[in-house]
Amino acid sequence: MADWLVTGATGMLGADLVRELTDRGERVTACSHRDLDVTDAGAVEAAVAGHDVVVNTAAWTDVDAAEDQPQRAHTVNALGPANLAVACLRSHARLVQISTDYVFDGTAAAPYEESATTCPVNVYGQTKRDGELAVRQTMPRDWYVVRTSWLYGEHGRSFPATMARLARERDTVNVVDDQVGQPTWTSDLAAQIVMLATSDADAGTYHATNTGQTSWYGLARAVFAMIGLDPDRVRPVPSTAFPRPARRPAYSVLGQRGWARAGLTPMRPWEEALQAAAPTLFGQVPSSSA
């Protein structure tokens, strides 16, 4: 049995990770931002001491606000992982750093493999890439960078839950259809992270998403169908219909070859994950969608 430290433990992913570890009978220290500021090097070193595995889910995730506050985003997303990497190196702890599909520019025509060149198109992506680099440059081994995308879950706001709410409030819902990615259930992701961190897989970068791909429009239609409503109530629109301060990658599908190289099983298709998540996201769903 290992001693785990989870930062950002009250966030969407962090909460599911703590639950996954607790259910497995692991010893886990769950630190919210109030418990541990990852930008405070001294506090980080003290918190990491005595732990075998550290999973950093703490992050500045407000993509649009990062455009106006790049230094604050960099402090959390880059300096924070750097502090954790130094502390883990000193304490001989394994570090799992959570990263994002936004480290890519979205111009690819095929899934981005783990070795693909990063080229973020917004401040958030830049700071997350800097966090990845800090871990790689600090730790010679015992580290994993886990990139994921389009997260949804029980603990916090999520796109599927928002679509279900809008379905009750509006006759039709406009959703962008020119951004393609991989919806990922945080409960599945938590289990994948634990599997990786307890394996003998080589240090490196791994892409952890539910497999397959869809657009936001396709995901919204799936949600409507799952809760027994007409998916044609979802209307496709271009991204220009919803101007945002930060540019989004148009295509951010992540390849999953790293799992095969490590002898580990990738995550299940996004449609299956959404079906499994439905009771926690939407409550009772019609039996015909099961």
Catalytic residues: 124
CA atoms of 177 and 85, how far apart (whole Å): 38
Report the distance separating Cα 64 and Cα 28, nearest Å.
Answer: 33
For residues 199 and 53, the answer to whether their CB atoms sit within 8 Å is no
Please name the residue that has the structure tokens 């839950």.
161
What's the start-to-end Cα distance of the chain, in Å? 37
Q: What angle do CA 164, 18, 94 make, to 5 degrees?
A: 125
The letter for the amino acid at 112 is: Y
Tokens, residue 150? 């389009």
Q: Where are the alpha helices (DSSP H) in the chain?
A: 12-23, 41-48, 63-68, 70-74, 80-91, 123-138, 159-169, 186-197, 216-226, 257-262, 270-282
Q: What span, in angstroms and rounded, lies between the C-alpha atoms of 233 and 227?
A: 13
Q: Are 120 and 85 in contact (CB under 8 A)?
A: no
3-state secondary structure of 76: helix
What region, left, alpha or beta, does residue 135 occupy, with left being phi > 0 and alpha being psi -120 to 50 degrees? Answer: alpha
